[in-house]
Structure 1
């Protein structure tokens, strides 16, 4: 597995498995980075990236001067999001506004080019997203969400727009991960329903509605994160 996926991702998956199995218990301090990296067979840099991902998802919490601990409760009950990592570059509201503009346009353009196989793949990712949320597999839930948006972007024939999308992918990804710790089950179900409406609009080759549904989906995600975006 480590040879097929990025090492930090594989490490994050391993640690999440330890949490879900109870090997790492709620409230328990994780081993030092040196010890943990050695036990997982990864570099400390890869481990730090894995820990950062799991902290963003609400599975871990770092306390300055004390260390990193397994979160005490299911992420949606913690009511705390990780800090916005890109604050030195862009306010998070700016990223959501960019997503609304960029991904809305991508959805409209892709509605004219995506094939039936793409629609089926979008349905599979949405089902996977829902199933893994119920299982508490937050990494797989987010992976499916990221893949959903990537499939739509892959259908856009405006290569400059796609290149722009890819150039800011890390920031866009962070806005998809960061709200997870405060996402209630009802909001996740609403998000999944929004995915299904996006698929329906794409299948209908309705560019205007595909744009609208995607923009509405991102707007609702921003609201979940406590970000108010003007739509006029």
Structure 2
């Protein structure tokens, strides 16, 4: 596989674009296993977190499949292009606040369905994400916390058992990562006690889903996202004096 050296503030975007090019040109074939994170980091001259971000983006776009403990593989069936109308809709949502409004509507219903339909495997997936979030908090690793946060919300979508909802959340995942990253930058990791409250909110959502309390699951995730919106509004106003257009 041909690789390039990356020296850029947004290295994960360059790495992701190059890997995607390798797939499109057939250098990485459907079903083929990608080199390990360590090998890719060395090949591109970037940190492992940059590789993980690039791979996460490719996964969200439907180009690769990340298998727990088994590595990353090019999808056997590659996505068609151009991307779906849902993808274009979410990519065109310029405002983080508008995006959070979409998330509140979508995820409150998704959490309610997840509470009704979740399996033990679904719960294990959520527990793993919470455990990673807690570890990131302990070692003050914001990247791990962000990835675990996204994984938790995606696990809830998977537990809904609704393929369309899952596809919508996957289409939204890039922008979901943006809102989580921005909110943590603005507020959540300024002090440990605040980050701890964020973890508690996710644990409360999990508790409602585990108890199959549909009403509470939907209400708790809506309340959580409302708080995130408040944080973003406050932070964005302090940064620029106004909300983004």
Query: TM-score range, shorter-chain basis?
Result: 0.5 to 0.7
Rounded Cα–Cα distance in structure 2 between residues aligned with 1:168 and 1:181: 20
1:220 maps to 227
Q: Supply the distance in 1 between the matched residues of 2:232 and 2:192 (Cα, whole angstroms).
A: 14
Please tell me the root mean square deviation across aligned C-alpha atoms, in Å: 3.4
Q: Measure the CA separation in 1 of the matches of 2:128 and 2:92.
A: 37
- Check the 8 A contact 2:108/2:221 in 1, yes or no: yes
Query: Does the 8 Å contact 1:118/1:151 carry over to 2?
Result: yes
Q: Distance in 2 between matches of 1:211 and 1:93?
A: 19
Q: How far, CA to CA, are the matches of 1:121 and 1:87 in structure 2?
A: 27
Post-superposition Cα deviations, 1:158-208, rounded to whole Å, max 9, x if no partner, equal 222222222222111211111222323222111111111111111111111
Please state if 1:91 is matched with 2:92: no
**Paired position in structure 1 for 2:113:** 109
Report whether the alignment pairs 1:191 with 2:198: yes
> Measured at CA, do residues 164 and 121 of structure 1 come closer, stay the same or move farther in structure 2, by a change above 3 Å?
closer
Give the match for residue 155 of structure 1. Answer: 159
- RCO higher in 1 or 2 (8 Å CA, sep ≥ 6)? 1
Aligned residues: 161
Instruction: Confirm or deny: 8 A CA contact 2:110 2:157 kept in the other structure.
Output: yes
- Report the TM-score, using the length of structure 2 for normalisation: 0.57
Question: Going by fraction, where is helix more abundant, 1 or 2?
Answer: 2
Greater shift after overlay, 138-147 or 218-227?
218-227
Instruction: Give the alignment's TM-score, normalised by structure 1.
Output: 0.60
What is the match of residue 206 of structure 1? 213
What's the offset of the Cα at 1:124?
2.8
CA contact (8 A) 1:111 1:205 kept: yes
| C-alpha spacing 1:121/1:164, structure 2 compared with 1 (3 Å) | closer
Q: Deviations over 1:95-132 (max 9, x none)?
A: 00011111111100111111123223322321221221
User: How many angstroms does 1:224 deviate by?
Assistant: 2.1
1:170 matched to 2:174? The reply is: yes
Structure 2: state its 5+ residue gaps: 1-10, 16-40, 54-89, 236-245
Cα distance in structure 1, aligned partners of 2:132 and 2:171: 26
